[in-house]
Amino acid sequence: MQTFVLAGGCFWCLDAVYRTLRGVSDVVSGYTGGTVANPSYELVCTGTTGHAEAVAVTFDETEIPASIILDAFFTLHDPRQLNRQGADVGTQYRSAMFYADDEQKKLFEEAIERANDIWGGGVVTQLEPLGEFYRAEEYHQDFFAKNPGQGYCLAVALPKVNKVRKAFGEYVRAA
């Protein structure tokens, strides 16, 4: 099993997308990359802690390649937007990859290169060493499944889920 910590806008979207992929055994929404211990959602939303909303995605490489996890990341958000995704604005919504070791750093660098090719350059995704990862409040975990009719889920998360399902159909969990 391998775990990647990735940030690409609101963690609800990343959580929703990764839960649809087979081989993914766990997705935890949380905060990382900041300077405050045990931050709350409200504090992170101020943009003053340095944390990004992120997910820790744990997966089995015998079922889904690491490259697919990373390419899905660059499919579900626009890595050319600095410190934002759509209407979500602030450093807490930055595009970032938090590496745990040199092997992950290399995989992430290769994924950023592929993303630059796909997006025609301009990728601003930050590559940062993984520090402390703080689990977000329980109501943020699996938010999309718990709140399928919520406006943000319908308008923002669902299109991202559908985009990844279409692009990586062979890796989507059976219904």
The type of residue at 41 is: Y
* C-alpha span between 15 and 53 (Å, rounded): 11
Angle at 35 between CA 116 and CA 54, to 5 degrees: 45
> What are the C-alpha distances in Å from 109 to residues 51, 103, 116, 136?
21, 10, 11, 27
Active-site residue, selected from the candidate residues 10, 13, 45, 153: 10
* C-alpha span between 19 and 5 (Å, rounded): 14
Q: To 10 degrees, the CA torsion angle through 114, 53, 135, 142?
A: -80
Q: Are 95 and 5 in contact (CB under 8 A)?
A: no
- 153 is annotated as an active-site residue: no
Q: Which of 103, 95, 94, 116 is nearest to 66 (CA)?
A: 103
Which positions are annotated as active-site residues? 10
